[in-house]
Amino acid sequence: TPLVMTLPIGTEEDFIGVVDVLSQQAFVWDESGDPLNYEVQEIPADLIDLAQEYREKLIESVIEQDDDLMMAYLDEGQEPSVEDLKRCIRSGTIALDFFPTYCGSAFKNKGVQMILDAVVDYLPNPTEVEPQPEVDLDGTPTGEFAVVDPSKPMRSLAFKIMDDRFGALTFTRIYTGSIKKGDTVLNTFTGKTERIGRIVEMHADERIELDRAQAGDIVALIGLKNTQTGHTLCDQKVPATLEPMVFPDPVIYIAIAPKDKGGAEKMGLALSKMIQEDPSFQMETDQESGETIIKGMGELHLDIKVDILKRTHGVEVIVGKPLVAYRESITKIIDDSYTHKKQTGGSGQFAKIDYIIEPAESGSGFLFESKVTGGNVPREFWPAVEKGFKVCLEEGPLAGYPCLDVKMTLVDGAFHAVDSSAMAFELASRAAYRQSMGKAGPQIMEPIMKIDVFTPEDHVGDVIGDLNR
């Protein structure tokens, strides 16, 4: 359940600040982008009633965390103090009873400060949450947990990479154990060891040099060469890995080019550093046009990246129009067959496949299964059938967008003792894709940013279940 903590003053281009529901004050920023340039003001007249309404809702939600406060409020009308309300908000947040919800603009640096304060005020410390489960190097759960204990073997997770004039800073949370300057640790993702050059505690731009850090600490490590966001660093004598971070696929992309022809190399180096810092930001080169394409989670995400290119790396770029990262899928089941036969003198090519193409569960990507029996298609050719079809999914049958959530089942087929090969079966599978996908009810899918659902109360549970899939 969201717990509204701030209300916006204005929207979009007219957004100037927020109303703090808890303190009933307005925080208004100027246009400099400096987070310190704000004024505490009276709530605008048109928001007074709304702010008071949300404060009453906030109080009624959070006092359920404290029976004494609830009785005093309900029986005597005694309003809790701000300190008591903060204590209840923290308790309910840790218990996942509600989620403090804020508004602001990261791009304009307005309202973000209150979110950072809320991190300190309401989020749990490492001893107040369930410990991270450990898995072995093959990804199998070990049954052990990364308990916050400095005496245990070291386990830490790199959650951010930042490049500055002193080199790469690897921000790391230590879940268990401890590390010292000069220690050698194992990166379980790369299988390589890394030496800890320096350990620093970060306070904005200020750094405090440390000789050691232990479970519960968040520090920046200097000197790591092959560690990226989401990698686990651990004691090389007792290796284990933590649950990795999962990054969503980009939903929008734009083409960029340096304004100065000589800036291409500089732009490429800058983008490489930015990708290391933010795994949800991606880059590729269009094979046909040669354009540099950057991909992200939304227009604001890419606007910020373009601004960083200019402000931090000194690269001016020409920006194309944003394009949505559409995907394709299918809606029908197709039972089909294809025979690839080619004879040009000498040994030829022969492969026959009988197959079923059908929609797969949402989020499953591509699934392949073989139900061939009796050796009609030898087992060594099955991977070639899978590969041929999977490669073709990069370009859907409708508009050439990547095709998702498709299952192909190899049912039967035939081969020739001399003329059949893995290449022949791969070519047969590619041709089968072209033959059948257009008949399988292809459709274009677009990313959903916002959706409003209106449903009778009887169906609310089913609808929410579908949306959560």
| Residue that terminates a domain, selected from 122, 156, 190 | 122
- Whether residue 62 is contained in a domain is answered as yes
Do 353 and 377 form a contact (C-beta atoms < 8 A)?
Answer: yes
Do 305 and 203 belong together in one domain?
no
Q: What is the pTM of this model?
A: 0.62
Which of 102-116, 170-184, 238-252 ranks highest by mean pLDDT? Answer: 170-184
- Whether residue 75 is contained in a domain is answered as yes
- pLDDT score, position 118: 95
pLDDT tens for each residue of 301-359: 999 899 999 988 889 999 988 777 788 999 999 999 999 998 766 678 999 999 999 99
Helix (H, G, I), strand (E, B) or coil at 284: strand
Judge whether residue 204 has pLDDT over 80. Answer: no
Of 63-77, 246-260, 406-420, 446-460, the least confident? 446-460
- Overall average pLDDT of the 189-210 stretch: 90
Do 348 and 439 belong together in one domain?
yes
Full residue range of the structural domain in which residue 90 is found: 2-122
- Whether residue 298 is contained in a domain is answered as yes
Of 27-36, 42-51, 72-81, the least confident? 27-36
Check which CATH number belongs to the domain holding 395 and give it.
Answer: 3.30.230.10
- pLDDT score, position 34: 78
pLDDT confidence bin for 83, thresholds 50/70/90: very high
Check which CATH number belongs to the domain holding 162 and give it.
Answer: 2.40.30.10
- Whether residue 405 is contained in a domain is answered as yes
pLDDT tens for each residue of 378-400: 999 999 999 999 999 999 999 88
pLDDT tens for each residue of 208-218: 999 999 998 99
Residues 390, 468: Cα–Cα separation, whole Å = 27
- Whether residue 305 is contained in a domain is answered as yes
Residue 199, C-beta contacts closer than 8 angstroms, at least 6 positions apart: 179, 180, 181, 209, 210, 211, 212, 213, 219, 220, 221, 222
Do 61 and 158 belong together in one domain?
no
Do 320 and 428 belong together in one domain?
no
Do 57 and 144 belong together in one domain?
no
pLDDT confidence bin for 247, thresholds 50/70/90: confident
| Residue that terminates a domain, selected from 63, 92, 122 | 122
- pLDDT score, position 40: 92
- Whether residue 411 is contained in a domain is answered as yes
- Whether residue 10 is contained in a domain is answered as yes
pLDDT tens for each residue of 97-141: 999 999 998 878 889 889 999 999 999 988 888 888 887 767 778
Check which CATH number belongs to the domain holding 104 and give it.
Answer: 3.40.50.300
Judge whether residue 447 has pLDDT over 80. Answer: no
- pLDDT score, position 449: 64
| Residue that terminates a domain, selected from 96, 122, 148 | 122
Do 147 and 207 belong together in one domain?
yes
Judge whether residue 92 has pLDDT over 90. Answer: yes
Apex 285 CA angle, 279 and 288, nearest 5:
150
pLDDT confidence bin for 166, thresholds 50/70/90: low
Angle between helices 112-122 and 82-94 (to 10 degrees): 80
Do 361 and 379 belong together in one domain?
yes
Do 134 and 146 form a contact (C-beta atoms < 8 A)?
Answer: yes
Judge whether residue 465 has pLDDT over 90. Answer: no
- pLDDT score, position 163: 78
Residues 189, 226: Cα–Cα separation, whole Å = 10
Question: Average pLDDT of the chain?
Answer: 89
Do 379 and 314 belong together in one domain?
no
Check which CATH number belongs to the domain holding 298 and give it.
Answer: 3.30.70.870
Do 381 and 440 belong together in one domain?
yes
Do 37 and 114 belong together in one domain?
yes
Domain count, the chain: 4
Do 411 and 301 form a contact (C-beta atoms < 8 A)?
Answer: no
Residues 202, 469: Cα–Cα separation, whole Å = 39
pLDDT tens for each residue of 145-158: 888 888 999 999 99
